[in-house]
Amino acid sequence: MELTVVKTDGAAPAAGGCASSGCGSSSDKLAHLPEAIRAKVHNHPCFSEEAHHHYARMHVAVAPACNIQCHYCNRKYDCANESRPGVVSEVLTPEQAVKKTLAVAAAIPQMTVLGIAGPGDPLANPERTLATFRELSEKAPDIKLCVSTNGLALPELVDEICEHNIDHVTITINCVDPEIGAKIYPWIYWHNRRIKGVKAARILIEQQQKGLEMLVAKGVLVKVNSVMIPGVNDTHLKEVSRIVKAKGAFLHNVMPLIAEPEHGTFFGIMGQRGPTHDELQALQDECAGDMAMMRHCRQCRADAVGMLGEDRGDEFTLEKIADMEIDYAAAMERRAAIHAEIEANRAAQREQRNETFVSIASIKRSAASPAADIERIETRPVLMAVASEGHGLVNQHFGHAREFLIYEASAMDVRFVGTRKVDLYCSGGDTCGDADSTLSKIIRALDGCEAVLCSKIGYEPWGELEAAGIMPNGEHAMEPIEEAVAALYREMADAGQLAPAAETASLSA
Ligand code: CLF
Ligand code: SF4
């Protein structure tokens, strides 16, 4: 008996569609979606996990004001509902933002989405935000428009959002219970008055839920972001997930609270901790029973430019774009050609997946089991870290990685479970030799992983990783990531390294 590999993507199943985004043996992770939704997400790097290996996004920081206070936010910095706290973005006028977007789109053709996510709340600055979208929807119709909001001003702006062809909206919803909300939001600014406590949280929650329902009714794809705050809303977020799914949200992104005293936030100063990797993954897994989860969020800054996880903002400062002459009609042609190339590569990768991904579960089908009915071999799941600079390939040198993609391989599946940020091990020149403490930090960040796949790795980090129980592997360089992870899993199984925990214990007893 062969077991089918079921693979998952960040995209949610559509109503009436297949419950698994893997949809049987199809290697196209979006195959279950109706064509109209597929067209909206197939090249959106946040709404489709597969797309984030191939396409980039950019943000323009046009929205300085905010209409609420979150306990994890310091107003000196970008809106922490999408951004890593402690990051400041330079505020642009809508005109500057449009010029920057056209410049980036011409220079980075794989940039498909323009998002507005701060530095305050985009919908608390409706003129600036909508002026930017209005002009871009005319000048650059090939760019998808995306906005992220705390939701307080959302219901009143739904019609305008639809008018400007904004097809993707993110609402940060941390709770549906005002008592919990009062522990996260000290106040909101509502109808020219500051309102505090449970009353404030109740208004905010009502506005968020109303906005979600209105957007879904109009066919806008809604992602819900939730900040996981241990001891405050962590156990409650399953209920949030269930409710927003029932109302038609497309995707749920549970992000870790990042709270450090130096950020000057209430939670940071009070010593509120964020979740561990394991706690975050466990909650994401629990919520995944209810809806599709985003696990590839990088908590980008409000002026981020490039692939998720990279920031090329320095190449597009106001000074640098001031003299740029942009022929956008020509740029659009070039962009279309490059998008076609990317899609051809994705199709080829899917083809390869079909050939190699028959079943990881038939690991030991060979000589020992000639019978037609092959028994499932009990093997334990394994976490693997992957160094990749895009295109869905294992194609980055270990020393050049600023983050690792984490995959869980099991007898049934290879699934993406998250990312881990690290300091650069090798910054070139003579500095690699001094990188001992960086390497120790990387090894700590890869806690729980048993292998790391990369295109190349130096002799020293190889030894240290191996000593820490993390097997470096450069054998699968330039292979598609999931096939490489599956192949390594099979190799580990063949080498007898994947006995379930109990068996391992009894063997070593
Ligand atoms: Fe930007 Fe957000 Fe749109 Fe993406 S980001 S407004 S949906 S285009 Fe993406 Fe960045 Fe995570 Fe946001 S990785 S922080 S989820
Ligand atoms: Fe800060 Fe964003 Fe919350 Fe406003 S909505 S207080 S900018 S985190």
Q: Which ligand is nearest to the CA of 120?
A: 2
Q: What angle is formed at CA 435 by the lines to CA 431 and CA 439, rounded to 5 degrees?
A: 150
For the segment 326-342, what is each residue's pLDDT rounded down to a tens digit?
999 999 999 999 999 99
Count helices and strands (H / E) in the chain.
15, 15
Q: What single-letter amino acid sits at 406?
A: I
Residue 333, classified by CB atoms within 10 Å of its CB into exposed (0-12), middle (13-18) or buried (19+), is exposed
User: What pLDDT is stored for residue 81 in this prediction?
Assistant: 79
* Mean of pLDDT values over 419-423: 90
Mutate to test the pocket of ligand 1, among 41, 48, 55, 57 (most ligand atoms within 8 A of CB): 57
Question: Is the model's pLDDT at 18 over the cut of 50?
Answer: no
Q: Which ligand is nearest to the CA of 151?
A: 2
User: What pLDDT is stored for residue 376 in this prediction?
Assistant: 47
The segment with the largest mean pLDDT, out of 69-83, 198-212, 481-495, is: 198-212
User: Does any ligand 1 atom lie closer than 6 A to the CB of residue 298?
Assistant: yes
Compute, in angstroms, the gap from residue 150 CA to the centroid of ligand 2.
7
With bands split at pLDDT 50, 70 and 90, how would you rate the model's confidence at 392?
very high
Q: Whose CA is nearest to atom 9 of ligand 1?
A: 46
Q: Which fold has domain 355-508?
A: Nucleotidyltransferase; domain 5 (3.30.420)
Q: Are residues 419 and 486 in contact, defined by beta-carbon separation less than 8 angstroms?
A: no
* DSSP conformation letters of 43-106: T-TTT-TTGGGT-EEEE---B---SEE-TT--TTS--TTTSPTT-------HHHHHHHHHHHHH
Compute, in angstroms, the gap from residue 404 CA to the centroid of ligand 2.
28
For the segment 237-271, what is each residue's pLDDT rounded down to a tens digit?
999 999 999 999 999 999 999 998 988 899 999 99
User: What pLDDT is stored for residue 208 in this prediction?
Assistant: 98
For the ranges 22-31, 113-122, 160-169, 439-448, which has the lowest average pLDDT?
A: 22-31
Residue 253 alpha carbon, nearest atom of ligand 1: 15
Average pLDDT score, the chain: 86
Q: Which ligand is nearest to the CA of 302?
A: 1
Q: Which ligand is nearest to the CA of 294?
A: 1
For the segment 286-297, what is each residue's pLDDT rounded down to a tens digit?
999 767 899 999
Supply the DSSP symbol for 375: P
Bridge partners, 403 (sequence order): 421
Q: Which residues line ligand 2 (CB under 6 A)?
A: 66, 68-70, 73, 79-81, 120-121, 150
Beta strands across the sheet bearing 305-306? 251-256, 221-228, 166-172, 144-149, 111-116, 56-59, 305-306
Q: What angle is formed at CA 114 by the lines to CA 113 and CA 117, rounded to 5 degrees?
A: 125
With bands split at pLDDT 50, 70 and 90, how would you rate the model's confidence at 23?
very low
Question: Is the model's pLDDT at 506 over the cut of 70?
Answer: no
The segment with the largest mean pLDDT, out of 81-95, 157-171, 278-292, is: 157-171
Is the peptide bond between 119 and the residue preceding it cis, with omega within 30 degrees of 0? yes
User: What pLDDT is stored for residue 352 in this prediction?
Assistant: 74
* Mean of pLDDT values over 214-219: 95
With bands split at pLDDT 50, 70 and 90, how would you rate the model's confidence at 61?
very high
Residue in 216, 245, 291, 279 with CA at minimum distance from that of residue 10: 291
Higher pLDDT, 258 or 354: 258
For the segment 126-176, what is each residue's pLDDT rounded down to a tens digit?
999 999 999 999 999 999 999 999 999 999 999 999 999 899 999 999 999
Mutate to test the pocket of ligand 2, among 59, 62, 66 (most ligand atoms within 8 A of CB): 66
User: Does any ligand 1 atom lie closer than 6 A to the CB of residue 388?
Assistant: no
Domain ranges in the chain? 26-337, 355-508
Residue in 223, 195, 194 with CA at minimum distance from that of residue 211: 223
* Mean of pLDDT values over 447-463: 94
The structure tokens 């909101």 sit at 188
The segment with the largest mean pLDDT, out of 350-359, 421-430, 485-494, is: 485-494
For the ranges 36-45, 80-89, 278-287, which has the lowest average pLDDT?
A: 80-89
Question: Is the model's pLDDT at 192 over the cut of 60?
Answer: yes
For the ranges 159-173, 373-387, 446-460, 477-491, which has the lowest average pLDDT?
A: 373-387
For 311, residues 6+ apart whose C-beta sits below 8 A from its C-beta are 300, 301, 304, 305
- Model's pTM, two decimal places? 0.85
Higher pLDDT, 187 or 429: 187
Question: Is the model's pLDDT at 22 over the cut of 70?
Answer: no
User: What pLDDT is stored for residue 212 in this prediction?
Assistant: 98
Q: Are residues 154 and 207 in contact, defined by beta-carbon separation less than 8 angstroms?
A: yes
121: left (phi over 0), alpha (psi -120 to 50) or beta: beta
Compute, in angstroms, the gap from residue 416 CA to the centroid of ligand 2.
29
Higher pLDDT, 14 or 320: 320
Q: Whose CA is nearest to atom 8 of ligand 1?
A: 115
Give me the count of residues in the chain. 509
For the ranges 12-26, 109-123, 149-163, 351-365, which has the lowest average pLDDT?
A: 12-26
With bands split at pLDDT 50, 70 and 90, how would you rate the model's confidence at 435?
low
Compute, in angstroms, the gap from residue 297 CA to the centroid of ligand 1.
7
Mutate to test the pocket of ligand 1, among 46, 53, 284 (most ligand atoms within 8 A of CB): 46
* Mean of pLDDT values over 188-202: 97
HSE, side-chain direction, 13 A CA sphere, residue 261: 3
User: What pLDDT is stored for residue 355 in this prediction?
Assistant: 63
User: Does any ligand 1 atom lie closer than 6 A to the CB of residue 204?
Assistant: no
Higher pLDDT, 367 or 388: 388
User: Does any ligand 1 atom lie closer than 6 A to the CB of residue 59?
Assistant: yes
For domain 26-337, the CATH class is alpha beta
